[in-house]
Amino acid sequence: FPSHDRMDGKLSDTCQILNMLNAKYIVVSRNDEPIVNSHANGNVWFVNDVSKVNSTNKELLGLGKLNTKTQAIVDVTKAPFAISAHYTTDSLDAISMTKYATKEITYHSKSSHKGFAVFSEIYYPEGWNCYVDGKQIETFRANYVLRAAKIKKGKHQVEWKFEPKAFHRQLMLGLEEQN
């Protein structure tokens, strides 16, 4: 686990795992004030480089070697499609959260390049679906625990919706019983 080194009252930028989890405040001990983590990655970001590995263990062990702001690691045996090792980004490329609700999170993406987006949300494929401009897309896990998606160049609305099949089946069964 990352060290808890302090630098001028702030958490050291060596805590890449905490940064990718968007941990904005860190409590080191009960007696200390929370440390503001100014290095947190945010809700979503584009990365330039993707380390491709062939096992979950290699993905987990590789986390400590990444700059999570610009790099990601993916177990390609679990990815539903081919992933490039490099993605171009520039200072004008942006992706940001515009709405957060319990069962739906919306982002706006603007890029002149196809992008590899990492979302600071726990990967849970049993119900979370991703839509770009209303069309469902394939997603995958990155950095062992986070959601990731390839986003085409241009301006897009990206939505994550919680739509578990079991919940909808149970809801439909309940409606049938009422009738």
Q: In a 3-state reduction of DSSP, which class is residue 19?
A: helix
Closest CA to 118 of 134, 92, 139, 88: 139
Provide the pLDDT for residue 28: 85
Mean pLDDT by 10 residues, the chain (179 residues): 45 76 91 91 97 96 92 94 94 97 97 97 94 97 97 98 77 61
> Phi and psi at residue 62, in whole multiples of 5°?
-75, -15
Provide the pLDDT for residue 121: 97
Closest CA to 117 of 78, 153, 149: 149
Closest CA to 52 of 79, 89, 88, 16: 79
